[in-house]
Amino acid sequence: MSEHHSFNLLRDPWIPVLYKDTGTSKRVSVTEAFRDADKIWRIDTGNPLDTLAGTRFLLALLYWCEPDPPDSVDPESLNKPFPETILEKLNQNAPLFELFGDKRRFYQDPGVRNAKNRHPVTNLIHEIPSGRNYPHFVHVTDEDCVLSPAACALGLIRLPVFTTVGGQGKSYGINQTPPVYVLPEAETLAGTLRLSWVALRGRKPGIPAWEDSLQPLEGEIPALTGLTWLPRRVWFHETVFEPSRQCAFLGESVSLGVSETAYEGRAKEDVKKDGYHWRDPHVLSDWNRETTEAKKDAVKLPHLKLTDLSKYPDATARQWLEGITALRKAVQSVPCWRGHADWLIVDFVTDQAKFLDALAFRVRLDNTGDGTEEKEQVIESWQKNRGQVLSGLQRTIIAAQARTDEERKKRTGGLKKSNLAKFLHVQTAYPTETGRMPEWEALLDTAPQALYRNMQRALAPVFFADISVRDIIGQNRLGQIPFIIDRNRYDQPSGKGVKEFTRRLAEQKEGILSLLRGKSGAEIDRDPVAFDLFTGLWWPIRQAHKDAPRRHIAWLACKLYGWVPLEDSTGCHLPDQLARAARRAGSEQARDSIIDRFDLLLNTPQERLEPELQWALAVVRDYLDRPALDWGKLIDHLSVWKRQSLRRYWALRFAETLYPKKEAAGSSETPSIQETAG
């Protein structure tokens, strides 16, 4: 095997992880992941598919090396390092984890090496379109796409977990249509793996796919077979690129990569017609699925309907509480997980060929007397009575719109065929205050417009927003936030380099600010004068301080400061200031406009963020009496904008400032507790 064609998953870095104490994000090999498992917080790819698939792959390796887990995990030893015996077995079997080579390859089948048809390697990555899927945010062509070895490895470990039907002869994975996966989490990667490891006690280990990639599905499926069963037969046709290319998934420079692969379905005889029985440790309904009869009564976590969440912002409030109710009940069926608090929920949503997406939520289940049980009872009662109430409500609303008696009879008579009726049915099915029905007829007389949402906002979106402030506002009111954010992580003071940069930026004269203002939207290397100005401002700080902002972030901050030179004030975070501006807006329509535009800002990639930030700064300047901004924190946050947790943190701060839990008596203009800063 050529040296240039070697990539071993045990030795070479490919798993993105986040270290707990330092906050360092880096790629590690399998060996390093197990060696540092007590120091690593979790697999952190920014993508729930890879987070879950990577954790399950490491779980399979752990069970392969230590097939006799205990009944339960002692909380004191939960996050301790793994023994060296794990690394010994892995190192002894290192050839099984070679990604390239002429002989055995990881998760690949030499039987399709010379397959007649070759496919784009991007078939392994759901986010990258292929074939005729042109209406997509990522615009690529199959022949131009290259994946690095690390990206190929991440794509391979997704196959057992998230494979869907791919055409004739290409069926789904062992779980068929991907279900809602639930993963117990701990403070470290070691603890997270141990929590799932103990759930495999008493299961037959079986043979993993890295030892035999063509095992059939029949009878009782052992744990390792089920966790690693491959619904596709793959063989990479790697290429050495000169000059190097860019990985279409990870963005790194690639000298050895893959653009084409064999990608075939499994033989029909590999899945026995008589059926098979597989209990997935992370699908809670499977824990009660010993028989067909028991399967019908098993607790299932409902899929969150992506179309509802994008069109009707209040939908999350009820759907989320229903999901929490199901999760509480389901966890009780797993003895080793009873009482565990922290969970990762990964919901893979697909509508055949129309779209697919993955939603991830981190939740904490506790018994702190938050009234959840009472809310669950309200939900159940609301569900029982909803149909009758809504039918009368729809007829009332439609009748109120009619101009004549004849038109009124016609509209209410054809209620089931009315698109408006369907729209109202969904809208009113998810009230902001769950379980409370207002007096709709009285509301029609006093404020009929309150029954209708902005049609442009409700029906126009053709994409599915990653983060929605309106969802978070509704969840806040219910006391249920579907994720956990380490606030201290994003509230830390800015480093010396960032502080020095913002200080020097604030010292610039109006002439220089005017020049920066004129460079709005321009790249730094387009104008020699602007380049010299920026270099003189940024480069000395970069030389003196390692924590100085990166060049493109510093240039963006310069242009924004030139656009709106707000006073630098510690603690005045942009989402807080924008929410205060929304509270001071003169009308409800103006407030809604700010909320909707902030939603757009949160879901805008960094390279297209400048005009949205210009709008936000202008709103802060125009609406607040003392407009100010913590420029250092803005720079810190823009540096990690790709992190979903950061953008959720912004959304949460905005929602809490816009609608504080404890409003002071008097006008809504009264500042919240958080508004004392700046």
Torsion of CA 541, 542, 545, 551, to 10 degrees: 110
Rg (CA), the chain: 28
- The whole-number pLDDT of residue 368 equals 45
Q: Omega of the bond prior to 605 within 30 degrees of 0, cis?
A: no
Orientation of helix 510-517 relative to helix 551-563, angle to 10°? 110
CA-wise closest residue to 200 among 300, 78, 63, 322: 63
* Alpha-helix residue ranges (DSSP H) falling in 186-337: 189-198, 223-228, 292-297, 306-311, 315-331
Pick left, alpha or beta for residue 438 (phi over 0 → left; psi -120 to 50 → alpha; otherwise beta). Answer: beta
**Residue 669 CA to its chain's centroid (Å):** 34
- Tokens matching residue 412: 């209410």
- Cβ partners under 8 Å of residue 567, min gap 6: 627, 628, 629
- Cβ partners under 8 Å of residue 2, min gap 6: none
Q: What is the spatial order of strands in the sheet that 342-350 belongs to? A: 180-184, 342-350, 356-364
Q: Is the dihedral of CA 672, 673, 676, 678 positive or negative?
A: negative
Burial class (CB in 10 A: 0-12, 13-18, 19+), 38: middle
How is residue 553 annotated by DSSP?
A: H
Sequence ranges of the domains in the chain: 3-282, 306-459, 492-676
CA-wise closest residue to 359 among 308, 314, 400: 308
Q: Topology of 492-676 in CATH?
A: Peroxidase; domain 1 (1.10.520)
Please name the amino acid found at residue 19.
Y
- Give one DSSP letter per residue of 38-78, joined into a string: TTEEEE--S-HHHHHHHHHHHHHHHHHH-----SS--TTTT
The model's pTM is 0.57
Please name the amino acid found at residue 231.
P
CA-wise closest residue to 671 among 591, 574, 568, 577: 577
- H or E segment and range at residue 243: strand 232-246
3-state secondary structure of 620: helix
* Residue ranges in the chain modelled with pLDDT below 70: 1-4, 130-143, 166-169, 273-274, 285-325, 349-357, 366-466, 474-484, 520-521, 525-527, 661-678
* Dist CA 417 CA 405 (whole Å): 19
Cβ–Cβ contacts within 10 Å for residue 391, how many? 14
* Alpha-helix residue ranges (DSSP H) falling in 187-302: 189-198, 223-228, 292-297
Q: For 671, phi and psi rounded to 5 degrees?
A: -65, 150
- The whole-number pLDDT of residue 159 equals 92
- The whole-number pLDDT of residue 520 equals 67
* Dist CA 541 CA 550 (whole Å): 11
- Cβ contact 379:322 at 8 Å: yes
- The whole-number pLDDT of residue 288 equals 46
* Dist CA 280 CA 270 (whole Å): 19
CA-wise closest residue to 262 among 238, 241, 246, 244: 238
- Cβ contact 359:371 at 8 Å: no
* Dist CA 511 CA 527 (whole Å): 16
* Dist CA 54 CA 45 (whole Å): 9
- Cβ contact 284:301 at 8 Å: yes
* Dist CA 398 CA 621 (whole Å): 43
